[in-house]
Structure 1
Amino acid sequence: MGRPYCPQNGRLMGPQNETQWPNQCRSGGQQSPINIMTRNTVVDTYGAHIRGPLVFRGFGNVNLRATNTGRTLKWMVEEDGPAPVLSGGPLRGNYTFVQFHLHWFSEHAIDGMKYPMEIHLLHVKTGLTVAEALKRPDGLAVIAVLCRVFADDEDNDYSLHELADMVPSLQNRTTAGSELPITLDLYRLMSAQRQAYFTYHGSLTTPDCQEVVTWIVQEQPIIISDSQYKLFRQVDVGGVDNYRSLQPTNRIVYRSAGSSLYNPSPIGMLGALLSITSLLKSTVGSGICFITNLKRKFFTDSSNTCKGE
């Protein structure tokens, strides 16, 4: 999440050479992303940290402009229109929406399980510039939305339908000025259960990895289609994947009182099983490469990436 780091040779810093990332990326003590172990999360029943529900204002029809940054696909809010505002929950004050972008595979993991894709909706504390926000521990707030893949179904209007239509025009990262306008309902990119989430203090997941982010990781993934997922995976972002490796979970992770895990039900358990099944189906074509790459992701294996597709 955040801007890409470009060394002098012009190449983008990908997961394979994170050890070369500068500043807090190596020296920081509260880095992101992390593996959220649900059994270790703290349910904030009495509102000591999560003070009331999250409040979403103006997230309906938002004017955005899309671009391929060379590391991800990003949709920036148009400056001449009203921007959505997020408040409540773990946030102290208002946060203005700036942009959202995509990572594949997911950056965060839940109970050790990665998802095929993750959406980051970036907000800056209202009244601050991005440069100013990067100097404050509470400068940024990011909603992270995990995506699970289901088989294509013509009768299902999947969450990324409108975005997928734009992808062919954003395929090439070397094409200058490929910015495309769109009006989008940002609620479509979020879980229907927006008050069910995990939250912790962490960092940007690209250099300089400043530890200024209040992370709000939605508990329930959204559903995207298999063809959508494959389409995004074909986008040129300087490598096959554009996520950062997991960092130590050396801090408190809170769970909202609206979490379905607080009172697990048979339906919730079924949803978890379906999520695992869908992830396996989406990667079965990669065969042994899926196992090899999982080893590399979770255990920082130094072997070359297996490309079985």
Structure 2
Amino acid sequence: MMWRSAALSGLVALVLVSLCDVVATAQCNEPDCSKAKFNYDQSSCLGPASWPDITPCWSTCSGSRQSPVNIRRNDATSRTSLGVFSFNIGPQQPFQVSTTIDGFKTNSKVSTTDHVVLSDVTQFGLSGNSFRLDGFHFHAGKFNNAKGSEHSFDGEFQPMELHMVFYNTKYPDISAAIQQSDGLLVIGVLAQVFDRARPSPFPGCVHTFQRTLSRVLMDSLKDKNPKSGKSCEETVDSTLTLQDLLPADRESYYTYEGSLTTPPCSETVTWIVMKCPIVVTKSVLRRFKRLEISKNGERLGVHGSRRPVQRGKNHTPFVLLKNF
């Protein structure tokens, strides 16, 4: 009887292993785009290197104008004719945002009653278009790793990066705009953490310590636990201004044509990466990395939430402009 029991146990174990393999394969190859999942684990079949192969509608993730990029300052062509973009509201005018957290995806959506619109964008054939702010989110790196931004300047990264996502107002919403070549515009702002001892790698930039943004983020990231089953549903409402999100120098930027940095990696984004960073508290970075992103207790800082640089590591094989 003992050998039969052992054999049966072995058979059960083999079946379970086989089932696990099937489940893993199903997750790694999902024909239904709406069910596809991804993560930032470099060793996983769901990690950044495998995004183009997970599901057919993510094949663009291996395209020729992918983001983020390394911004090689000396390779940028100065075009002062680009001028300065403008907004329909003043830098201190408040607007409402609602923040939700779904795993490693955090998103702060601007209220539908608030219209924050960017205009005077002239690069890449966008003259005459205006873009509405849909929302913003952050990216960060692993625990005990200062590399957290997605874009880099001359190979140097910062602890976090803010992305303000706009869509072209000629389209009804962001879902429609994402399909169009002139549909999206994203302002990227690198974020440092407050540290008096560390010299700034951004010469000529004034430290812009974002106290209000830091407080709002601390409130939004508080007590988010996927085990409760409620984290995807909970929202935190806050009030912010453009001054809270952008550096003191709101005029100087780099710009290039790129993509979303998460699947489906749509190559419909005009990127504006601000020349100067903002500064947030160390507590914000710590709390962000400690977000529980799965029901098994995994925290964001295990693998981070940043896509590796796609272009510009050693040279700049694309048009990179600056307006200063």
Structure 1 171/144 Cα, relative in aligned 2: closer, same or farther at 3 Å? Answer: farther
State which of 178, 186, 189 in structure 2 corresponds to 1:145.
189
Alignment match, 2:24:
none
Moved beyond 6 Å, runs of 4+: none
Deviations 1:156-175 (A, max 9, x none): 76242222122114454852
Q: Contact (CA 8 Å) 2:131, 2:185: kept in 1 or not?
A: yes
Instruction: Return the TM-score normalized by structure 1.
Output: 0.73
Q: How far apart are the structure 2 equivalents of 1:182 and 1:96?
A: 19
Structure 1 137/176 Cα, relative in aligned 2: closer, same or farther at 3 Å? Answer: closer
Alignment match, 2:134:
98
Counterpart residue identity of residue 178, structure 1: E
User: Is residue 57 from structure 1 mapped to residue 88 from structure 2 by the alignment?
Assistant: yes
| Percentage of identical aligned residues | 30
Q: How far apart are the structure 2 equivalents of 1:84 and 1:185?
A: 10
Q: Contact (CA 8 Å) 2:134, 2:174: kept in 1 or not?
A: no
Cα distance, 1:195 vs structure 2: 0.7
User: Is residue 119 from structure 1 mapped to residue 162 from structure 2 by the alignment?
Assistant: yes
Q: How far apart are the structure 2 equivalents of 1:195 and 1:7?
A: 44
Structure 1 157/18 Cα, relative in aligned 2: closer, same or farther at 3 Å? Answer: closer
Structure 1 228/131 Cα, relative in aligned 2: closer, same or farther at 3 Å? Answer: closer
- 1:221-236 matches, within 5 Å, as 221-236=277-292
Alignment match, 2:5:
none
Counterpart residue identity of residue 40, structure 2: G
Q: Contact (CA 8 Å) 1:108, 1:114: kept in 2 or not?
A: yes
Structure ID, larger Rg: 2
SS of the residue corresponding to residue 307 of structure 2 reads coil
Unaligned 5+ segments in structure 2 are 1-26, 53-58, 141-147, 197-208, 295-299
SS of the residue corresponding to residue 99 of structure 1 reads strand
- 1:1-309 matches, within 5 Å, as 8=30, 11-16=37-42, 17-22=47-52, 23-26=59-62, 28-45=63-80, 47=81, 50=82, 52-58=83-89, 60-79=93-112, 81-89=113-121, 90=123, 91-92=126-127, 93-104=129-140, 105-128=148-171, 129-151=173-195, 158=211, 159-170=213-224, 172=226, 174=229, 175-237=231-293, 239-240=300-301, 241-249=304-312, 250-257=317-324
Q: How far apart are the structure 2 equivalents of 1:83 and 1:39?
A: 37
Counterpart residue identity of residue 34, structure 1: V
Instruction: Return the TM-score normalized by structure 2.
Output: 0.70
Q: How far apart are the structure 2 equivalents of 1:214 and 1:181?
A: 29
Q: Contact (CA 8 Å) 1:65, 1:76: kept in 2 or not?
A: yes
SS of the residue corresponding to residue 227 of structure 1 reads helix
Q: How far apart are the structure 1 equivalents of 2:323 and 2:156?
A: 20
Structure 1 246/211 Cα, relative in aligned 2: closer, same or farther at 3 Å? Answer: same
Structure 1 12/237 Cα, relative in aligned 2: closer, same or farther at 3 Å? Answer: farther
Deviations 1:161-192 (A, max 9, x none): 22212211445485241112112113211111
SS of the residue corresponding to residue 285 of structure 2 reads helix
Q: Contact (CA 8 Å) 2:183, 2:269: kept in 1 or not?
A: yes
SS of the residue corresponding to residue 247 of structure 2 reads coil
